[in-house]
Structure 1
Amino acid sequence: MLNLNDLRFFVMAVANGGFAAAGRALGVPKSTVSKRVAELEQALQARLLYRSSRSFTLTDAGRDFYEHARAALIEAEAAQEAVQRRVAEPSGTVRITASVPTAQQYLAMHLPALARAYPRLHVQLEVSDRRVDLVQEGFDIAVRSHFAPLPDSGLVQRQLAVEEIVLVASPAYLSGRGTPQAPAQLSDHDGLLTGAAAGTWRLRGPAGTGAEVTPVPRMTVNESAVLLGAAVAGLGIVPLPQELCRAALAAGELVRVLPDWTAGSVTTTLLMPARRGQLPGVRATVDFLVQCLAPASAGAHARP
């Protein structure tokens, strides 16, 4: 097996046009470069260089060997850099923006674990329902939940989670008002709405069947945690992301209504400027969130 350092001495000698210039570039005596190249030739049992006091040229074998040796050194350096990037501890500040529901539902439980995993990483989370311009405002990452596909903004997009929106109500409400057996029966029930324009629910059922229903408006709130509390209090039926109401379902505070039907899905996407994704701290944060939220997304499709 050839010594990789000997390849480096040989390549530097060729690239610099002689042993003296290579020695200066490497910070070693000329004699060291000459000796190592001679040992390389001995190991290969081939002359690589014609050298005299006036000339320094490659032999045919040396020319072929130089191309391969230079490529081997490039690959070795790339391998070293890849490992160094992998083991380098992420540090510095990572600025994240997210809406209130997204921060509460997805980030609140995971960011403390991220901080423990990377003590030198300073995470700054700004929770706001306004649409933030990542580039202009200097954010590294945005985490957004949305019902329709996001427009092409030139930002890198990574899907974190996709979960069904399910219909839920409290056992007490259903005991008093009856449990719907078909979508059409929802028009006789109190609905908890997410907005004035959300009075009609578009449902999808078995084999891709669809239905549109308009419940009786009971309460309209543009904040999902409040709607969840209203449903637990027995005020009506509400469509909510399954992960949001998972704990209430597990505790028996809520039950699924029409469990074979869903009211669409909500997607959570991570966005970032491409150049920011190369920073070790940002890359570590992105990888961490993907790892944390992908299992939650897969579990969200399992019926409780």
Structure 2
Amino acid sequence: MVDSVLNLNDLAFFVAAVDAGGFAPASRRLGLPKSTLSKRVAMLEQALDARLVQRTSRTFTLTEVGRDFYQHARGALIEAEAAEAVVRRRQMEPSGTVRITASVPVAQAQLADCLPRLARAYPRLNVQLDVTDRFVDVMQEGIDIAIRSHFAPLPDSALVQRTLATESIILVASPSYLADRESLQTPTALEHHDGLLSGATATTWTLQDTADERVQVAPRAAFVANESVVLIAAASAGLGIACLPERMCRAAIARNELVRVLPGWHAGTVTTTLLMPHRRGQLPGVRATVEFLVEHFRADS
């Protein structure tokens, strides 16, 4: 019976000596004096009250109990290394609070799907999302990541900018609406169709084709809403034609609730950009979140 707790270092010295075939070669591998290794193994034998090694000036031979002990000691060291690796990985795992601000369309169309997956991937990460279309002072409000969709390039600033996606703005309508109306072959025909507008003053759409030909059209104002999900629902209900970012319409198109109108034309593009203060981008939790979002948008496009 062992009266004292074994020193794990002594187990390591013993295993190293056995693996090397003696104290001299083990001392050269470890960069320690031979006498130190011999003394520590002797202390281990004393703690165990058992002879592990038969040694002379020329031989290094394990006893029977030494062979059995070696197998278990080696296994114990492997388990100790594995236990340490678990802790090290845990310490390296992204953690802490990451504050994100996003516009309403981005939150609904993108983040509602991917942020729960982010939280599952990094359980020690505390994600806080503020959904708003107001101007947010990222630096002053302590925001780690801001995500915004915009039609024109963002102005230069002290913030790091990273483009997540660029998509076309397309025309969509329900099959039932199109079945009851005259066919649409050219953009000018839109003037005889019901338009679902994003604002009371947004009465015209500027369309362009692959040859960069541009034409401005004014559909009949049949419905007005400054919220994309409402416009998609209105279009799906057959109220008219909507002009919306392609990604937002994708699910309804896949369900055959909407079809694309004039597929050779689009109303420009919308870009989704991630912004963050440079210093916050160095934090492991923020860095992991950024890379997760970049990969999500890349896969989605």
Q: TM-score when scaled to structure 2?
A: 0.69
Pair 1:170-2:205 in alignment: no
Report % sequence identity: 64
Instruction: Choose the corresponding residue for 1:230, options 230, 234, 244.
Output: 234
Instruction: Choose the corresponding residue for 1:119, options 99, 118, 123.
Output: 123
**How many Å separate the matches in 2 of 1:206 and 1:111?**
35
1:53 alignment partner in structure 2? none
Bigger Rg, which one: 2
Pair 1:141-2:145 in alignment: yes
**How many Å separate the matches in 1 of 2:250 and 2:226?**
20
1:150 alignment partner in structure 2? 154
Alpha-carbon RMSD: 1.7
Instruction: Choose the corresponding residue for 1:271, options 267, 272, 275.
Output: 275
CA deviation map 1:235-262 (0-9, x unaligned):
1001111111111111111111101111
CA deviation map 1:190-237 (0-9, x unaligned):
100111332110111131211110111111111000000000011100
1:194 alignment partner in structure 2? 198
The correspondence of residues 273-288 of structure 1 with structure 2, limited to 5 A, is 273-288=277-292
SS at match of 1:285: helix
Deviation at 1:283, TM superposition (A): 0.4
Pair 1:102-2:106 in alignment: yes
**How many Å separate the matches in 2 of 1:187 and 1:222?**
21
2:218 alignment partner in structure 1? 214
Deviation at 1:179, TM superposition (A): 2.6
**How many Å separate the matches in 1 of 2:111 and 2:144?**
15
Paired AA for residue 98 in structure 1: A
Deviation at 1:153, TM superposition (A): 2.0
The correspondence of residues 29-40 of structure 1 with structure 2, limited to 5 A, is none
Indicate if the aligned counterparts of 1:179 and 1:257 stay in contact, CA closer than 8 A.
Answer: no
The correspondence of residues 12-161 of structure 1 with structure 2, limited to 5 A, is 88-161=92-165
Indicate if the aligned counterparts of 1:202 and 1:212 stay in contact, CA closer than 8 A.
Answer: yes
**How many Å separate the matches in 1 of 2:192 and 2:202?**
17
**How many Å separate the matches in 1 of 2:174 and 2:240?**
8
SS at match of 2:248: coil
Deviation at 1:295, TM superposition (A): 2.4
Paired AA for residue 231 in structure 1: A
Indicate if the aligned counterparts of 1:168 and 1:237 stay in contact, CA closer than 8 A.
Answer: yes
**How many Å separate the matches in 1 of 2:208 and 2:157?**
30
Task: Show structure 1 runs of 5+ residues with no match.
Answer: 1-35, 37-83, 298-304
**How many Å separate the matches in 1 of 2:119 and 2:272?**
21
**How many Å separate the matches in 1 of 2:136 and 2:223?**
29
**How many Å separate the matches in 1 of 2:240 and 2:182?**
11
1:253 alignment partner in structure 2? 257
SS at match of 2:266: coil
**How many Å separate the matches in 2 of 1:242 and 1:282?**
29
**How many Å separate the matches in 2 of 1:171 and 1:294?**
30
